Amino acid sequence: MSLLKDLPELVSANIISGDTARQITAYYKQKQQADPNRQLLIFGILGALLVGTGVLFIVANQWDQFSQSAKTICAFLLLIIPQLFCVYVMLKKTEKVVWREIAALMLFFAVGANISLVSQIYHINGDASSFMMTWMVLTVPLIYLLDASALSLAFIFMCMIFGLTAKESGTFPNEEHLFWILYALPLPHYYLTLRKSPAGVLTILHHWMIPYVLTQTLFILSHQAHMLMHPAYIFLFAVFYFIGEHPFFKSGPLHHNGYLVFGFAGTVISLLVMSFKSNWKGLTDPVYQLSNLIVTPEFIGCFVLFTLAALLLYQQNRGKKWGDWTMMDITFLLFLILFLPGFQAITPAVILINLMVLILGLILLRAGAKQTHLGVINLGMLIIALLAVCRSFDSDLTFVVKGILFVLVGIGFFAANWLMIKKRKENEA
């Protein structure tokens, strides 16, 4: 860094003192350790993955020609060598982030490969979900021993694979619910990393991986009361949205804020899904009587997520006036108010859901016009356009009328952008 190179010259010229120079050097050294070279970190992780894959292919090429003893030795050498490398890193390179991440990933995949090889050599039966659970339980300590965020990301992703596999196979009753325990194991590391290196590339990837995995796996709660998964997802996206609206996340660029993107996009998509009348018909089933609902995993999940969303709503808006609240703040409450009467009257609920989506789009259009923000305007137009597309699928309108509606929406896009650009030029002039 050029600043560090110039420090001796600045000290000799009496511009800064020697103590100040040492403090600057210590600051940048600590900053470099907390957020290492991103290219080196990314390509180091990719290199570790490629080396591990290459070794497996080399061994697999001659695998059938090995004796059982030779296969066993190869399997455990594959495990022992990464372990020795991890010990070396912990003793000699503990301050090097790239070394820690590479060592942790190598051992993580080595453990999985070793379990597979030993099972194949000695013909040990088992299903995929049991294999993944064993693999993750054995490797989760590495996240904390080596302070490895890349391994934390891999672990969270594997949790998703385990949850989906266990839900699909159903080998053991309620096995898929172990996902929630496994998913929680790396979260303390994520919290510590968030405090230590908030702008680190691996920390930012966590902001996307965590909501992505929860979005993909929430449906494992679904058993009998499937319709309750619709409000469950609405509440989950509300939680994401409120987390993303926290000043800690909101102060950064949008591509760093996976919570806000998943929260907003997920809410809009969920509302569009529920704007179809066919998605409400299951509410007439007897399973949705209150006495049957309160013991279902879906109801418990809804209750927990709603409570969490309500607490975050209160925390975020407790100092605001009612007029300062946005529609997104109360969308999950409005949906619940509309969903409950849907047990008795589906058509009014569907109409109001469509109206709510339309109002949300119009509010974004109005906000974008006030802020002269093309992105917000186009987002509002996109929501209205998606609503028009959805209604074109379940309406009796002719193709000509549908075509005219799409043409009008397209003209609206062009007109809104043209007027906004014109307004910007007038303001700049």
The residue behind tokens 């992780």 is 45
Alpha helices, H only, 95-200: 97-121, 128-145, 149-169, 178-184, 187-196
| Residue type (1 letter), 30 | Q
pLDDT of 428 > 80? The answer is no
CA-CA-CA-CA torsion sign (164, 142, 151, 264): positive
pLDDT of 28 > 70? The answer is no
Question: Which pLDDT belongs to residue 327?
Answer: 87
Share of the chain above pLDDT 90, in %: 32
Task: Give mean pLDDT, residues 184-201.
Answer: 91
Euclidean distance between the first and the last CA atom of the chain, given in angstroms as a whole number: 41
pLDDT mean across residues, the chain: 83
What is the band of 210 on the pLDDT scale with cuts at 50, 70, 90?
Answer: very high
Among candidate residues 386, 357, 354, 380, the one with its CA nearest the CA of residue 367 = 380
Provide φ and ψ at 373, rounded to 5°. Answer: -115, 110
Distance CA 243, CA 313 (A): 10
Task: Give mean pLDDT, residues 172-196.
Answer: 90
pLDDT digits (tens, 9 = 90+) for 353-404: 999 999 999 898 888 878 777 788 888 888 988 898 888 877 666 777 777 7
pLDDT digits (tens, 9 = 90+) for 254-281: 889 999 999 999 999 999 999 988 888 7
pLDDT digits (tens, 9 = 90+) for 280-317: 877 767 766 766 777 788 889 999 999 999 999 999 88
Q: Which one has a higher pLDDT value, 113 or 240?
A: 240
| Residue type (1 letter), 365 | L
pLDDT digits (tens, 9 = 90+) for 137-165: 999 999 999 999 999 999 999 999 999 98
Question: Which pLDDT belongs to residue 4?
Answer: 61
Distance CA 141, CA 137 (A): 8
Q: Which one has a higher pLDDT value, 69 or 183?
A: 183
Question: Which pLDDT belongs to residue 31?
Answer: 57
CB count in 10 Å sphere of residue 213: 20
Helix (DSSP H) and strand (DSSP E) numbers for the chain: 19, 0
Q: What is the DSSP string of 262-289?
A: HHHHHHHHHHHHTTSGGGGGGGGSGGGS
pLDDT of 25 > 60? The answer is yes
Distance CA 131, CA 329 (A): 42
The residue behind tokens 């294999």 is 131
Distance CA 317, CA 246 (A): 11
Task: Give mean pLDDT, residues 62-84.
Answer: 79
Q: Which one has a higher pLDDT value, 106 or 41?
A: 106
The whole model's pTM is what? 0.84
| Interacting residues of 97 by C-beta distance below 8 A, sequence separation 6+ | 33, 36, 41
Question: Which pLDDT belongs to residue 5?
Answer: 67
Among candidate residues 108, 99, 87, the one with its CA nearest the CA of residue 36 = 99
Task: Give the domain ranges of the chain.
Answer: 1-31
Distance CA 220, CA 223 (A): 8
Among candidate residues 175, 188, 95, 76, the one with its CA nearest the CA of residue 140 = 188
Question: Which pLDDT belongs to residue 38?
Answer: 63
